[in-house]
Amino acid sequence: MDTLTYGTGTAPSSPDADLLAQLRAGDEAAYRDLVRVNAGRMLAVARRMLRCESDAEDAVQEAFTQAFHALPRFEGHALLSTWLHRIVVNACLIRLRRRKRRGERSLEELLPQFQEDGHRLDVGEPWPQDALAQLEAREVRAAVRKAIDSLPENHRCVLVLRDIEGLSSEEVAERLGIRADAVKMRLHRARQALRTLLDPQLAGRGAPCADTSPAAN
């Protein structure tokens, strides 16, 4: 299926429909409005995925160019912002496939290890009840971002798209060209690895909290 022909979802609002009609009529002011309204959010998405300002800016520029040329094929059943989000994610994925990831950690060394009787080895110290609140601290947010960046690309992309961009497992599967159950498995493993990387920052700072690496749903 053409990745730029996105025709499922909620029907666009009236202002969105009006803007789409103006875009299809070749209204340059409408195109500038489209960029002005959506560029910030699209750039934020690209930054989260690419972690390089110049690459993010290039990906967003490419996405808007692709969207402009794909307007005749846009069926209009989804919001323009949703359609643009899909295009910029695809543009980022293409860039990620072209470049060699550096600083990745082996996922296997970060996953939990188990004894023959099923008990986990190296359980580690419990995270505090307010672990999520601590994640709001600037220095811890930086540690989280660094930990995510060090994951292998195929697991990092799934984690970013599911847990940060808020896409469903089915939507992530469609964008990555894999099965939804593969998305769930990668997400589960990525969350486990992320916890291993974050334990030095969050473990032992308070009362025990629930496990933060649940199976993906």
One domain, residues 70 and 125: no
How does pLDDT run across 80-95, given as a tens digit for each residue?
Answer: 888 899 899 989 988 8
pLDDT digits (tens, 9 = 90+) for 173-217: 988 888 999 999 999 999 988 888 888 776 655 444 444 444 445
- CATH code of 152's domain: 1.10.10.10
What type of residue sits at position 95?
Answer: R
8 A C-beta contact, residue 186 and residue 158: yes
Residue 25 near residue 67 (C-beta atoms within 8 A): no
Q: Model confidence at 106, in pLDDT bands (50, 70, 90)?
A: low
Cα–Cα distances (Å) from 193 to 73, 95, 105, 155, 204, in that order, read: 41, 24, 9, 10, 18
Question: pLDDT value at position 119?
Answer: 61
Burial label, 210 (beta-carbon count in 10 A; 0-12, 13-18, 19+) = exposed
pLDDT at 9 over 50: no
**For residue 114, pLDDT beyond 70:** no
**Beta bridge pairs of residue 113:** 121
Q: Which residues pair with 120 in a beta bridge?
A: 114
Residue 5 maps to a domain:
no
Tell me how far CA of residue 78 lies from CA of 7, 9, 20, 74, 215, in angstroms. Answer: 6, 5, 11, 9, 30
Give the pLDDT score at 131.
Answer: 61
Q: Which region among 79-88, 101-110, 117-126 has the lowest average model confidence (pLDDT)?
A: 101-110
**CATH number, domain containing residue 91:** 1.10.1740.10
| d(C-alpha 147, C-alpha 3), whole Å | 30
pLDDT per position as a tens digit, 24-75: 888 888 888 889 999 999 999 998 888 788 889 999 999 999 988 888 788 7
Mark whether 195 and 125 lie in a shared domain. yes
End-to-end Cα separation, the chain, in angstroms: 26
Q: What is the pLDDT of residue 96?
A: 82
pTM above 0.95, yes or no: no
The closest alpha carbon to 82, from 38, 117, 51, 125, belongs to 38
Q: What pLDDT does 2 receive? A: 39
Helix, strand, coil in percent for the chain, rounding step 5: 65, 0, 35
- How confident is residue 11, by pLDDT bands cut at 50, 70 and 90? very low
Taking each helix axis as running N to C, give the angle between helix 28-50 and helix 53-70, from 0 to 180 degrees, rounded to the nearest 10: 140
Asked whether residue 76 is domain-assigned, the answer is yes
Please check whether residues 64 and 118 belong to one and the same domain: no
How many structural domains comprise the chain? Answer: 2
Domain that holds residue 131: 108-202
